[in-house]
Chain A
Amino acid sequence: MRRTIRLTGRKQLARSAFSFHLADLGAKRVGALSIANPGELKAFPIDAEIRVKLSENKLVEVLRFGTIAKPIASADLKESSFRAPSCQVRIVTRGGKSDGMLLGSTSQWTLRSGGEPDGILLFQAAETEPRLWRLDIRDQEPPILYVDERIPDASLWAKSDSLFAACVLPHVISEVMRYVLSGSSAPEDCWEADWVSWALFLMPGTKPPFNDTQDEQRQWIEQLIDTFAQRHDLSGEVLAKMGITA
């Protein structure tokens, strides 16, 4: 089991103890929070406040969901631009000298519409016009591939369309792995580590070239893309769709 040690005394809260989503109520957009495991909040003072921090694209908003003693289920959202924001539940002291002190928090997660399972690359419908797609590499969560929301079921389409996969995914792999390899050592306990594990699963026995030359890194990434393309028969799928037999 992965454990997080915090020297500040701030408690690590389980993400599974909370369920959060955004909903439209008429003209209003609200954040709705439910507490699946109230036991998670037992150790905190009853007047401590429950908050959810949302951040995306240089935008931050904090929603307040009452106190431990009197939680409330929904809070109005001022900002309408959130599509797939980073979320974090936070428990914060109110009043007195320690007003604003962080007593506990969950890890951050990305809120997506559609309830898709976690993966190393998240697909999300969004306004990407005039582009068809846009890659977003984040600090603490897996990269997101935004797909033009004008396409019906955009994220499902992007995952299942062979032409899109063949043209876009090699570029995504290249961008993400270049970012991962720009670190000085092998990452641990983060989304970058998941990408390295995935690459090693595809190419067992190879060593990710951290600290190697750009040329060596480029070659390793090319080899990874070739292996990925071969495994999923990227070009063959497209040719078959076009009615061309190899």
Chain B
Amino acid sequence: MRSSFTSLYEFTAEGLELFQRVMRGELAEAALDIENPVYALPLEGTKAFNAVDFTTARDMAEAVCKSFGSRSPQAMAGNAGLWAWLTFVLVDNLFPAVGGTRQIKELHRWYPASPNDWRKAQRHLVRMPVLLFQAFGKDADHLICGRPAVGPDIREQLTSQQDMFSANFQKACRVLYFDEKKGSVKRGTGSKDGPGIPRRLAVLRRQLDVTWDMTDLSPERILELLPPEFDRYKAQVRCIRRSAEL
């Protein structure tokens, strides 16, 4: 498949239909000819895009954001044809073949759910990293520092509530969970059980939201409000700061 494009494209209704059949394994990938205007049309206002091998979801998101040109990824969040096209041209990044077969897995990782569907929309492997990178830049590092093929639990948890899409909240999350030195999430962050993990933060945020205006609290204030179970992650922050000062 071609990997260099003069602009971003969007699947037509026919292209979207074929895309779904390909992803479900009913048709071979070659059946979807992205050069054919019946299946895909260029998206006006966007720039060239190279679907190269990306090391992280962040690198991928940055490249896609650049290609949006004068268009806003946020305004195009509901354009299923566009996100499906990106999924298809990035399929080797998102669903690499193992032993000759792709592990496609759950529908909403590759087919974009309605952007306001708070339970499924954040699972898409291209759209979510792009929207996060566009909205928060480096403050989304903890959510998109992994491989493009992985939709990590931290991303699912810390984007599961509409009010989590606030810059200050994500800044606080980055301080807690991102290891600046390693350029990856801190140890233990991916656990599904235990104190101070992202799952606990998601639960706690909802509780704090009853008393505090969480969407507008400063990151420092959010960190202050967290109970001692999060000290483990805060302590790592302090250690890093201290070593940087030495």
* Contact indicator A53/B116 (Cβ below 8 Å): no
* Contact indicator B165/A55 (Cβ below 8 Å): yes
* Contact indicator A100/B75 (Cβ below 8 Å): no
Which listed residue (A99, A102, A129) contacts B211, Cβ 8 A? A102
Given known contacts A99-B221, A137-B117, A59 and B74 CB-to-CB distance under 8 angstroms: yes
Query: Across the interface, which residues of B come within 8 angstroms of A127, CB to CB?
Result: 75, 78
> On chain B, which size bracket covers the interface?
20 to 34
Interface residues of A in 139-155 (CB under 8 A from B): 139, 146
Contact with A along B176-197 (1 / 0, CB 8 A): 0000000000000000000000
A243 to chain B, nearest CB (A): 28
Query: Across the interface, which residues of A come within 8 angstroms of B162, CB to CB?
Result: 55, 58, 60, 86, 139
Query: Across the interface, which residues of A come within 8 angstroms of B159, CB to CB?
Result: 58
Given known contacts A58-B121, A136-B114, A131 and B80 CB-to-CB distance under 8 angstroms: yes
B13 within 8 Å of A (CB atoms): yes
Which listed residue (A57, A86, A90) contacts B78, Cβ 8 A? A57
A29 within 8 Å of B (CB atoms): no
Q: Which of B53-61, B91-99, B212-220 contacts A (4 or more CB under 8 A)?
A: B212-220
Interface residues of B in 217-236 (CB under 8 A from A): 217-218, 221
Interface residues of A in 21-69 (CB under 8 A from B): 51, 53, 55-60, 62
A202 within 8 Å of B (CB atoms): no
Interface residues of A in 111-151 (CB under 8 A from B): 126-131, 134-139, 146
* Contact indicator A130/B212 (Cβ below 8 Å): no
Which listed residue (B74, B213, B221) contacts A81, Cβ 8 A? B74
Docked Cα-Cα span, A140 to B163, in Å, equals 13
Interface residues of A in 58-117 (CB under 8 A from B): 58-60, 62, 79-81, 86, 90, 92, 99-102
Docked Cα-Cα span, A238 to B118, in Å, equals 36
* Contact indicator A102/B117 (Cβ below 8 Å): no
Query: Across the interface, which residues of A come within 8 angstroms of B218, CB to CB?
Result: 100
Q: Is the interface of A mostly helix, strand, loop or mixed?
A: loop
A10 within 8 Å of B (CB atoms): yes
Docked Cα-Cα span, A17 to B89, in Å, equals 51
Query: Across the interface, which residues of A come within 8 angstroms of B221, CB to CB?
Result: 99-100
Q: Which residue of B lies closest to A92 (CB)?
A: B213
Which listed residue (B13, B116, B165, B213) contacts A90, Cβ 8 A? B213
Query: Across the interface, which residues of B come within 8 angstroms of A81, CB to CB?
Result: 72, 74-75
A-B contact count (CB 8 A): 88
B115 within 8 Å of A (CB atoms): yes
A40 to chain B, nearest CB (A): 18
B213 to chain A, nearest CB (A): 5
Docked Cα-Cα span, A57 to B159, in Å, equals 12
* Contact indicator B114/A129 (Cβ below 8 Å): no
B202 to chain A, nearest CB (A): 15
Docked Cα-Cα span, A45 to B61, in Å, equals 45
Q: Which residues of B contact A (CB under 8 A)?
A: 10, 12-13, 72, 74-75, 77-81, 114-118, 121-122, 131, 135, 159, 162-163, 165-166, 210-213, 215-218, 221
Extra contacts, 8 of them, besides A58-B131, A136-B116 (Cβ < 8 A), are: A55-B165, A60-B165, A62-B213, A62-B216, A90-B213, A126-B78, A136-B117, A137-B117
